[in-house]
Every structure is written in structure tokens, then in C-alpha cells.
Amino acid sequence: IVNRYVGENELTAIETMRAYVDAQEDYAAQDRDEDGVEEYAQKLISTEGMTDGLYWPTDDINGESPAGGNIDQAELQDAAKGEGYFGYKYKILTGQGDHIAGGAYDYVINGNMIAGFGLIAWPAKYGETGAKTFAVNQHGVVYEADLGPTTEQIVKYIDRFNPDDTWQVVGD
């Protein structure tokens, strides 16, 4: 039963990674902060009353957020408590490393994330809610790796999309 639960969470994490790419593209299609620059979101959840992230509660003024139709409200509440979203935690990556075509560079230029985007997802409780860590960038290819029982500590230091040869591409 635990293996089935882990597998379901991992599949949901992969789906969430792919939905993140779509949401970022949708977000960047408009100049949401009216600064003259169409940029990617640097937050997953918007500041209350604002549209500065990929998700905000639907209302008459701002409409549905780029991620709005894909968000499970009960799981979102669990994530807010640090329990993970379907057993996974997520962090936006602000650059890419030298293992990626084009080499290392920042996605954020002059305060706007315009040069790309990335996301990493890892199990909220390694071995219980998942085992694989996932990463994706603006090209939409999801990578996976098992970082082991110290995943939480390792991910603290990851701020760039930079899968090396220990990561594998997730199939369709």
C-alpha cells in the first residue's frame, strides 16, 4: 500500500511539473505587474490580494489564476502547513547550471524572471510520500533522480536547474 501511495504521489508530482510549465507560459503572456515587462512568476502562491504568483483565489477582479484550474484546495492547505502538495514540496529555481545547453546563467534579470524558469519537487517525507525528486525548466522536459534519505537537506542548496548524468528524463 505504501508503494502505491508513493507511486501515486510521484505521478501527481510529474503532472504538477508539467502543469507548472503551462502556468508559467500563461502567466508570462501578460504584463501582470504593469512594469512593461512580460515575465515569469517568481512565486507559486501570490501575495494575498495580488497576482504576483501562479496561483491566487479566483475573483471578479483578477479572474482565474494561471494555475487555478489545476489546484486541489485541500492539498493546497496541506502544503501551506508544510505537509506537501500530494506529498511533495516545490521550489522555483532562478537560474540554470553548467550541465544544461547554454551554460550557467540567471533567469532573473533586473528583478524580472525573463530568461527562463525552473521548478524542483521533492518528497515531503522521503520514503513515505515519495522517493524521487523532479526538476523541469522552460523546455518542459521533466527529469528525475533519487537523492536518498538526505533529499530535504540537499534540496535546500539547489537554486538552479542543473540535472547532471545522475538524473534521467521522465517518459511520457
Rounded CA separation 158/146 (Å):
15
Which cell goes with 96?
Answer: 540554470
Residues 132-146: pLDDT tens digits?
999 999 999 999 999
pTM for the whole structure:
0.93
Give the ranges where the chain is alpha helix by DSSP (H): 2-28, 73-80, 151-156
Residues 52-89: pLDDT tens digits?
999 998 888 888 899 987 788 888 887 888 888 999 99
